[in-house]
């Protein structure tokens, strides 16, 4: 049983987890940095404790400080949210060693997922198609040339422990390979503390499609897919469920892949398997995200399943409460990630005080946010300030609803990406479901709200 948990995170996801806990009768402890003392998650939780100065490294990423708060407040579990320590196998291990249930996968499953080369190797071994490329980290430049020649250019160099769209380099011809290989290695070392890199075929105009799973005790189910191709610099901006291009047969096939891989690495809790779909409609496994994801609400809307509550149930009972046959996908949901950024100035982050705020509502609208009127957005953290999720029976109706809600969203005092989203969803190609990961690059010249 979990009676009280600590949430090792901030912002909208901390609030999301607190809400699930309240409904399940679980007490919550929020942590915050000195910079975040006015953050809403500290007010929603039953208790809140400062864990350090504004720098994440000294607060939200400080394992000793967080474990001390667990001991002081007498919690029996820890939910890491996403980002920060969510995919740190070491943190999961330390929590468990100290008697605090880690609400997420086991340290072994986090490790098996976090190393992208390993995850791809396991997937390939059990018959899941993977993007052609290296099966092991690339050790030398000679090896890099050999792989690139075999797969054919363009290729993409990625950090084995990478994430957040960082540490990736596209190489279009052999002249650039040596330089970009060395740069990628250096960057990987700096950003992820490990210079292991790998090379795979760069797919032209793919779609990013991912599968939500829940798993426990050797069992696993899938909750449909999410379409996440609307990206800027390899980072997702709009996600939807279901995907406009995934057929019923493909959905079942992707679900079967996801369950097979989850079982192969003995995965538990909620997780996501990411795939790329090429222009011919072939799917290739890319990586596993061993955490709750930013875009989980769209899957919740179309399945009616509360994924955060399921994570808590799995942590408490070590079994799934839902059978695959209970999962029904109904309607359509689209999420816009609203950032405090100025689209007219190269998406420069725009922290600062919110002078006035109106948050949209009405039928089929869900908002996940930690902002409020008078809130001073700190410059130290991610620029995500709200997720606007629209739900309706069909995709066209859902887009109309989203358009209506975006037009109601009023944030004064800072720049946001609301206008940018308004442009995206008005594009014919978006409305027709005719897009891939290059959509924004290809359409932004049409929009008067964007300058990069
Ligand atoms: P991260 O874990 O850093 O977010 P991913 O491996 O999930 O990185 O990739 C993020 C995005 O980068 C994908 O959605 C896609 O747009 C692009 N990408 C990654 N690998 C490839 C590839 N092999 N070919 C084409 N695009 C790719």
At a CB cut-off of 8 Å and minimum separation 6, what does 405 contact? 360, 362, 365, 388, 390
Q: Could you tell me which CATH number the domain at 4-103 has?
A: 3.40.50.20
CA of 158 to the centre of ligand 1 (A): 9
CA angle centred on 393, ends 387 and 399, rounded to 5°: 50
- Considering only CA atoms, which residue is closest to atom 21 of ligand 1? 202
Domain coordinates of the chain in residue numbers? 4-103, 132-201, 207-446
Q: Which CATH architecture best describes the domain 132-201? A: 2-Layer Sandwich (3.30)
* Catalytic residue selected from 226, 291, 366, 401: 291
- Tokens coding 400: 């109309």
Contact, 390 vs 333, CB < 8 A?
Answer: yes
| Of the candidates 67, 70, 24, the residue with the CA atom closest to the CA atom of residue 47 | 70
User: Which residue carries 């290739």 as its tokens?
Assistant: 284
C-alpha angle 214-218-223 in degrees, rounded to nearest 5 = 20
- Residue 297 backbone zone (phi > 0: left; psi -120 to 50: alpha; other: beta): alpha
Ligand 1 centroid to Cα of residue 165, in Å, is 7
How far apart are the C-alpha atoms of 404 and 402, rounded to whole Å? 5
Q: Is 165 in the pocket of ligand 1 (CB under 6 A)?
A: yes
What residue owns the CA closest to ligand 1's atom 13? 234
Q: Identify the pLDDT of residue 450.
A: 73
Residues 168, 158: Cα–Cα separation, whole Å: 5
User: Is the Cβ atom of 94 under 6 angstroms away from ligand 1?
Assistant: no
**What's the confidence (pLDDT) of residue 167?**
74
CATH classification code of 207-446: 3.30.470.20
The confidence score (pLDDT) of residue 452 equals 62
CA distances from 16 to 10, 94, 235, 370, 403 (A): 10, 24, 22, 10, 24
Q: For residue 197, what pLDDT is reported?
A: 92
Is 291 an active-site residue?
yes
Distance 204 CA to ligand 1 centre (A): 11
Low-confidence ranges of the chain (pLDDT < 50): none
Instruction: Assess contact for 247 and 265: CB atoms under 8 A.
Output: no
- Give the Cα separation of 205 and 228 in Å (integer): 13
Return the structure tokens found at 124: 């390939």
Peptide bond into 420 cis (omega under 30): no
Tokens representing 54? 């504004």
Of 221, 193, 365, 186, the closest CA to residue 307 belongs to 221
- 67 three-state secondary structure: helix
**Pocket perturbation via mutation, ligand 1, pick of 134, 163, 206, 226 by most ligand atoms within 8 A of CB:** 206
pLDDT digits 0-9 by tens, 50-77 = 999 999 999 999 999 999 999 999 999 9
């Amino acid at each position: 049983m979990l009676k009280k948990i600590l949430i090792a995170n901030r912002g909208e996801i901390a609030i999301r987890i607190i809400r699930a806990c309240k409904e399940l009768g679980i007490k919550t402890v929020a942590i915050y940095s000195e910079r975040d003392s006015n953050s809403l998650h500290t007010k929603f939780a039953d208790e809140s404790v400062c864990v350090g100065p504004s720098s994440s490294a000294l607060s939200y990423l400080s394992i000793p400080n967080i474990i001390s708060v667990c001991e002081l407040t007498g919690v029996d579990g820890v939910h890491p949210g996403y980002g920060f320590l969510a995919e740190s196998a070491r943190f999961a291990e330390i929590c468990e060693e100290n008697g605090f249930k880690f609400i997420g996968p086991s340290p072994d499953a986090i490790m098996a997922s976090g190393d992208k080369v390993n995850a791809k190797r396991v997937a390939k071994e059990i018959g899941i198609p993977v993007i052609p490329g290296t099966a092991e980290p690339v050790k030398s430049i000679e090896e890099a040339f050999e792989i690139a020649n075999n797969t054919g250019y363009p290729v993409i160099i990625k950090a084995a422990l990478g994430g957040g769209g960082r540490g990736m380099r596209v190489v279009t011809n052999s002249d650039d390979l040596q330089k970009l290989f060395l740069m990628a290695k250096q960057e990987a070392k700096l950003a992820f503390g490990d210079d292991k890199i790998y090379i795979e075929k760069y797919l032209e105009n793919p779609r990013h499609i991912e599968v939500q799973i829940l798993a426990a005790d050797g069992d696993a189910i899938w909750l449909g897919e999410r379409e996440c191709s609307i990206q800027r610099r390899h980072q997702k901006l709009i996600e939807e469920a279901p995907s406009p291009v995934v057929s019923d047969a493909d959905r079942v096939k992707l679900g079967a892949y996801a369950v097979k891989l989850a079982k192969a690495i003995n995965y538990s809790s909620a997780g996501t398997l990411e795939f790329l779909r090429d222009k011919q409609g072939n799917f290739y496994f890319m990586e596993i995200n061993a955490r709750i994801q930013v875009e989980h609400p769209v899957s919740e809307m179309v399945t009616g399943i509360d994924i955060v509550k399921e994570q808590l149930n799995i942590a408490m009972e070590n079994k799934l409460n839902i059978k695959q046959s209970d999962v029904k996908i109904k309607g359509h949901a689209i999420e816009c990630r609203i950032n405090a950024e100025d689209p007219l100035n190269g998406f420069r982050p725009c922290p600062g005080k919110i002078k006035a705020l109106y948050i949209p509502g009405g039928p089929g609208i869900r908002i996940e946010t930690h902002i409020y009127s008078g809130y001073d957005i700190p410059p130290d953290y991610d620029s995500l300030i709200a997720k606007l999720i629209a739900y309706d029976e069909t995709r066209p109706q859902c887009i109309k609803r989203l358009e209506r809600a975006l037009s109601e969203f009023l944030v004064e005092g800072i720049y946001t990406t609301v206008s940018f989203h308004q442009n995206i969803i008005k594009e014919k190609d978006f409305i027709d479901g005719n897009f891939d990961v290059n959509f924004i690059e290809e359409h932004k010249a049409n929009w008067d709200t964007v300058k990069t």
